[in-house]
Structure 1
Amino acid sequence: MTTPLTPQADTAPTAAAKDAVKAADRAHVFHSWSAQKLIDPLAVAGAEGSYFWDYDGNRYLDFSSQLVNTNIGHQHPKVVAAIQEQAAKLCTLAPGFAVDVRSEAARLIAERTPGDLDKIFFTNGGAEAVENAVRMARLHTGRQKVLSTYRSYHGATAAAINLTGDPRRWPSDTASAGVVHFWGPFLYRSPFHATTEAEECERALAHLADTIAFEGPQSIAAIVLETVPGTAGIMVPPAGYLAGVRELCDRYGIVFVLDEVMAGFGRTGKWFAAEHWDVTPDLLTFAKGVNSGYVPLGGVAISGAIAETFDTRPYPGGLTYSGHPLACAAAVATIGAMAEEGIVEHAAHLGENVIGPALAEIAERHPSVGEVRGLGAFWAVELVRDKETREPLVPYNAGGADNAPMAEFTAACKQAGLWPFVNMNRTHVVPACNITEAEAKEGLALLDEALTVADRHTTAGAA
Structure 2
Amino acid sequence: MSSEITNEYVHALDRQFVFHSWSIQSTLNPLVIAGGQGCTLWDYNGNQYLDFSSQLVNTNIGHQHPKVIAAIQEQAGSLVTVAPATANLMRGEAAKRILSHAPSTFSKVFFTNAGADANENAMRMARQFTGRDKILSAYRSYHGSTGSAIAATGDLRRVPNEFARGHVHFFNPYLYRTEFHATTEEEECERALQHLRRVIECEGANSIAAILLESVPGTAGILVPPKGYMEGVRALASEFGMLLILDEVMAGFGRTGRWLAMDNFDVVPDLICFAKGVNSGYVPAGGVMISQPIAEFYENRFFPGGLTYSGHPLAMAAIVATLDVMAEEGIVDNARMIGQEFLGPGLKALAAKHPLIGEARGVGLFWALEMVSDRVKKTPLAAPVMAQMKAAFQARGLLTFIVENRIHVVPPCIVNPAQVAQALAIFDEVIGEFSSKHAA
Query: Do Structure 1 and Structure 2 share a fold, with TM-score over 0.5?
Result: yes
Q: 2:100 aligns with which of 111, 130, 148?
A: 111
1:59-78 Cα shifts (integer Å, max 9, x gaps): 11000000000000000001
Q: May I ask how many residue pairs the two structures share in their alignment?
A: 440
Letter in 2 for 1:130: N
1:253-402 to 2 correspondences below 5 Å:
253-394=241-382
2:77 & 2:99 partners in 1: Cα distance?
27
Per-residue deviation, 1:169: 1.2
Report if aligned partners of 2:253, 2:277 keep a CA contact under 8 Å in 1. yes
> After TM superposition, which residue ranges in structure 1, 4 or more long, deviate above 4 angstroms?
11-14
- SS in structure 1 opposite 2:183? coil
Give the superposition deviation at 1:364.
1.1
Whether the 8 Å CA contact 2:135–2:208 is kept in 1: the answer is yes
Q: Among 401, 411, 423, which residue is 1:443 paired with?
A: 423
Give 1:407 shift.
Answer: 1.3
**Cα-to-partner distance string for 1:10-41 (whole Å, 9 max, x where unaligned):** x9974x43333223212221111111121021
User: Residue deviations 1:215-237, cap 9 Å, x none?
Assistant: 00000001000000001100100
Looking at structure 1, the residues matched to 299 and 13 of structure 2 have their Cα atoms a distance apart, in angstroms, of 49
Equivalent residue, structure 2, for 1:74? 63
1:412-423 equivalence runs, <5 A: 412-423=392-403
Matches of 2:359 and 2:319, distance apart in 1: 35
SS in 1 for 2:332: helix
Aligned mates of 1:25, 1:411 — CA distance in 2: 20
Pick aligned residue for 1:411 from 371, 391, 400 = 391
Out of 395, 404, 414, the residue aligned to residue 424 of structure 1 is 404
Match of 1:92 in 2: 81
| Aligned partner of residue 30 in structure 2, secondary structure | coil
Q: Distance in 2 between matches of 1:87 and 1:216?
A: 51
1:452 corresponds to: 432
One-letter amino acid matched to 2:312: H
The answer as to whether partners of 2:230 and 2:266 remain within 8 angstroms in 1 is: no
Partner SS for 2:106: coil
CA distance in 2, matches of 1:252, 1:179: 17
Contact 1:124 1:298 (C-alpha < 8 Å) held by counterparts: yes
Once the 2 structures are TM-superposed, how far is the Cα of residue 459 of structure 1 from its aligned partner? Answer: 4.0
Q: Residue 161 of structure 1 corresponds to which residue in structure 2?
A: 150
From 187, 205, 209, the equivalent of 1:217 is: 205
Match of 2:41? Answer: 52
Match of residue 399 from structure 1: none
In the superposition, the TM-score normalised over structure 2's length comes to: 0.98
Kindly indicate whether the alpha-carbon contact (under 8 Å) linking 1:149 and 1:183 is maintained by their aligned counterparts in 2: yes
Deviations 1:86-111 (A, max 9, x none): 11111111111111110000000000
Give the alignment partner of residue 101 of structure 1, picking from 90, 97, 103: 90
CA distance in 1, matches of 2:439, 2:91: 56
- The one of 113, 117, 120 equivalent to 1:124 is 113
1:186·1:200 contact (CA, 8 Å) conserved in 2?
yes
5 Å matches for 1:147-226?
147-174=136-163, 177-226=165-214
Checking the alignment, whether the CA contact within 8 Å between 1:249 and 1:256 is kept in structure 2 is yes
User: Structure 2 CA distance, aligned partners of 1:19 and 1:355?
Assistant: 35
CA distance in 2 between partners of 1:426 and 1:435 (Å)? 21
Shift of 1:44: 1.1
TM-score w.r.t. structure 1 length? 0.93
Alpha-carbon distance change, 44 to 312 in structure 1, aligned in 2, over 3 angstroms: same
Change (3 A) 1:186 1:96: same
1:334 maps to amino acid: T
- Match runs of 1:235-254 below 5 Å: 235-254=223-242
Q: Shift of residue 457 of structure 1?
A: 4.7
The alpha carbon displacement at 1:411 in A equals: 1.1
Structure 1 CA distance, aligned partners of 2:263 and 2:103? 7
Cα shift readout 1:36-56 (whole Å, capped 9, x = no counterpart): 121021221111110111122
1:61 pairs with one of 50, 72, 75:
50
Q: Is the 8 A contact 2:111 2:285 kept in 1?
A: yes
Residue 117 of structure 1 and its aligned partner are, at CA, apart by 1.9
Corresponding residue number in structure 2 for 1:21: 10
- CA distance in structure 1 between the partners assigned to 2:90 and 2:67 by the alignment: 15
**Structure 2 counterpart of 1:38:** 27
SS of residue matched to 2:380? coil
User: How far, CA to CA, are the matches of 1:170 and 1:291 in structure 2?
Assistant: 31
Q: Summarize deviations over 1:300-339 as a string: whole Å, max 9, x none.
A: 0001111111111110000000000000000000000000
Distance 1:435 1:448 in 2: 19
Query: Aligned partners of 2:433, 2:71: CA distance in 1, in Å?
Result: 44
**3-state DSSP class of the match of 2:191?**
helix
The structure-2 alpha-carbon separation of the partners of 1:231 and 1:459, relative to structure 1 and needing over 3 Å to count, comes to same
SS at match of 2:373: coil
Shift of 1:145: 0.4
**What is the percent sequence identity of the aligned residues?**
57
Distance 1:110 1:96 in 2: 20
Aligned-pair RMSD on alpha carbons?
A: 1.4
The letter for the 2-side match of 1:49 is G
Opposite residue 39 of structure 1, the aligned amino acid is L
